[in-house]
Amino acid sequence: MSEPFIAEIRIFAGNFAPRSWAFCDGQLLPISNNTALFSLIGTTYGGDGRTTTALPNLQGRSPMHPGRGPGLTSRRLGQKVGVESVTLNETQLPSHSHTLRGGTGGVTAEVPPSVSTSIDTSRNGLVAYQDNTSANLVDTASQSISTAGGSQAHYNIQPYLTMNFIIALQGLYPSRS
């Protein structure tokens, strides 16, 4: 393996950080022992800038290039975005309605429920659905159809394979081209 640049980040499949490398887990490092690293990353990922600097935290995160592309929002180096779970609200759902109609007449045919059938409340032993939606039907009271869901969050994470990101603490100091 060639000598890395200081602050270079690589994906590593091991369960330890090799010598002169550290996990990208957000840990704070003393600037006095890592002056070259601090001169490159500063406080982009945290730290107070006087005595400590922080390594990037890529635990449970995907790396993303900074900048702005056509139709994309601007992202700064070190900016953390996204969440692992999301609770949707009514404004995020497409407009739609749930209509339940009922009647008191008999049912004439066995028709499976669909968007064009209605429930018939007759109790004469016949099937509970009818396809004649214009005959003697009224809207069901709104209290009969309850709200669904419990405002619980759902996971919003892409498929993943767990790997370690490591950052070089020592190596070649990168020169600007």
pLDDT at residue 11, rounded to an integer: 95
| Structural domain boundaries in the chain | 9-62+168-177
Q: Mind listing the pLDDT tens digit for each residue in 43-73?
A: 999 999 999 999 999 998 889 889 988 888 8
Look at the block and give the residue holding tokens 């602050």. 7
pLDDT at residue 20, rounded to an integer: 96
pLDDT at residue 15, rounded to an integer: 95
**Global pTM value:** 0.65
For 43, the token pair is: 């406080």
pLDDT at residue 83, rounded to an integer: 84
Return the CATH superfamily for domain 9-62+168-177: Phage tail collar domain (3.90.1340.10)
Q: Mind listing the pLDDT tens digit for each residue in 120-154?
A: 555 555 555 556 666 666 666 666 666 666 777 88
pLDDT band at residue 116 using 50, 70 and 90 as cut-offs = low
